[in-house]
Amino acid sequence: MNKNTKVLALKYRPQTFADLIGQDVVAETIYNSIKANKVPNAYLFTGIRGIGKTTTARIVAKSLNCSNGIDELCKDDLCENCIAISNSNHIDVLEMDAASKTGVDDVRDLIEFSRYGPTTAKYKIFIIDEVHMLSKQAFNALLKTLEEPPEYLKFIFATTEIKKIPITVVSRCQRFDLSRIKSLELFEFIKKIKDKENGNASDDALKLIVKISEGSVRDALSLLDRALLTLDKDKELDLGSAQKIFGYFDKSQLISLFQLIFEAKETEVLNAYREIYNQGVEPKIFINDFLELLYYFKNIESLKIDGTNFSLNDEEFNRIKEISEKVSNETLILFWQFTIKTLEELDIVSNQHLSMEMFLIRLIHLKGVKNNSEASYEDSHQTNENISQTSLSKKNGEDLFGLKDKAESIGQMKNIAQEKDVTLKDNKKVETQTNLINSFDDLLEICSSKKEIKLKYELEKNVNLVSFEDQRIEISFNEDLDKDFIKDLSLKLYEWTNNRWIITLSKIKGQPSKKETEVNLKKELIESAKNSLTYKNILEKFPDAELIDVKTNQKENKND
């Protein structure tokens, strides 16, 4: 190991396959292939940053060129080849950074150099890091050599962007996808490093480092290095100190903030957020933690404490589980959508702090609960299970976020648009016209009389009537139906009748639309006319004649 290096990420860099953590399958496969002398022409390692791609490439190079062989691979007392490879100065192992040498000329030099056999080792090895940065011409120049290289030549590629590599290159390599390191495994690893460095850090602080590193060993060691250097040796790095160093805050504060939002306590919500903001937490970090907690609220029943990536302790886990039982899934999903939208707003608004406060206020009003001492976030549990269109308006202080869906038919969805009472300016009652709408035809007539042409058009062309009962309409529709049709129709029916109507969507096809009926009737009339003697006589005199329309004589029909 690089004992003279003070940076932990380099000091504790793995030197053998046994030192690798979290990549057991990859290590075992490569070890067996080398031992069986079935080494591929090229290796391709891909994965996120800091999980051992370049490190694995060097271990493979040492395994192929170690003087002691793969079974007795150097670990402590390194041979000359292993020392040179570890220090990146072996004459037969060339490490190239594709980010700085992207052109076809660089690859041509590489190919020219490959014509000569190894000097001191068994294999000549080219390690190309960030290989996806090579140009298209450079990849093409490499193809032939990559497919049929000399026996002494091996390629090892490493990349974080596998999709940017041409498939013709990928197919010529033995690909290994290095996975993120599991949280518990990474925690045990950095805890051992902490003990070796005589560091003083609590388990909670180490768990926070694991969470921030997101499965990257290099990130975890860099954060540990930074944390141990920040405090004096006689002071312990506890969770509070780690949160200040890394700009994170206690999850219990955010859980309390959620509870205040569900209780619709606007002043307390803003004060709780400002307390978090004053700790130096950036709005984007706050939003991402907010999203993470939303995920836990939604899926807490299917999670275990060890499945939260050390984000929660036992007390926080149980609090979330208790609160989530009183909040509907629809509320949490809408919160998620609004939070994602706020992430976009942060790049637009100059004062992100104000944007965050308005975001929290919107969530409170979106919740739709009473803002008084009797308000309870338990009301949100009365949300419609299958609601498809949601209104944010309130009536008489009730939670109108959703209504219980009582429909038993599969595929039906309740669509109820809730609007404020419509009152006349002179405070007179709205004239009731319930008796004027007793059928679908009555509805079309009142649309005409009220000059609601767009609504009538949708009813006639895009709606198939299934049933029409007292203040309840069941319909099916085609793909051309306007997205706001249900809301517009519900609003107009309430305005015309002063009563709420229920509009149900059904999978049953229903009756043909008015337009379809008219078209079918027209086709029948034309076919009937074509079979008449008059039409046949006309065709005898005018063979090119074509019947395109038929009009009935309404006066004759009335007389009949």
* Domain ranges (residues) in the chain: 8-177, 183-246, 281-381, 382-511, 523-559
Q: Are 186 and 210 in contact (CB under 8 A)?
A: yes
> How many beta carbons lie within 10 A of that of residue 427, not counting itself?
6
**DSSP classification of residue 398:** B
For the ranges 252-256, 449-453, 520-524, which has the lowest average pLDDT? 520-524
How many CB atoms neighbour CB 288 within 10 A?
A: 13
- pLDDT beyond 90 at 175: yes
CATH of domain 8-177: 3.40.50.300
- One CATH from 1.20.272, 1.10.287, 1.10.10, 2.40.10 for 281-381: 1.20.272
Within 10 A of 382 (CB to CB), how many other CB atoms are there?
14
Question: Do the Cβ atoms of 290 and 261 come closer than 8 Å?
Answer: no
pLDDT at residue number 311: 65
Q: For residue range 132-170, what is the model confidence (pLDDT) as tens digits?
A: 999 888 898 889 888 888 889 999 999 999 999 999 999
CATH class for the region spanning 183-246: mainly alpha
Backbone angles phi, psi at 370, to 5 degrees: -70, 135
Region of residue 473 (left: phi > 0; alpha: psi -120 to 50; beta: else): beta
Q: At what angle do helices 251-262 and 314-324 cross, to 10 degrees?
A: 10
> In the predicted model, what is the mean pLDDT of residues 53-80?
84
DSSP per residue over 414-466, as a string?
EE----PPP--TT-PPPPP-GGG-SSHHHHHHHHHHTT-HHHHHHHHHTEEEE
% pLDDT > 70, the chain: 83
CA dist list (Å): 126 to 95, 141, 218: 6, 15, 23
Q: Please indicate, yes or no, whether the overall pTM of this predicted structure exceeds 0.85.
A: no
pLDDT-derived band at 309 (thresholds 50, 70, 90) equals: low
Q: Answer whether 316's CB lies under 8 Å from 258's CB.
A: no
Radius of gyration of the chain (CA): 36
3-state secondary structure of 156: strand
Lowest mean pLDDT among 114-118, 251-255, 379-383: 379-383
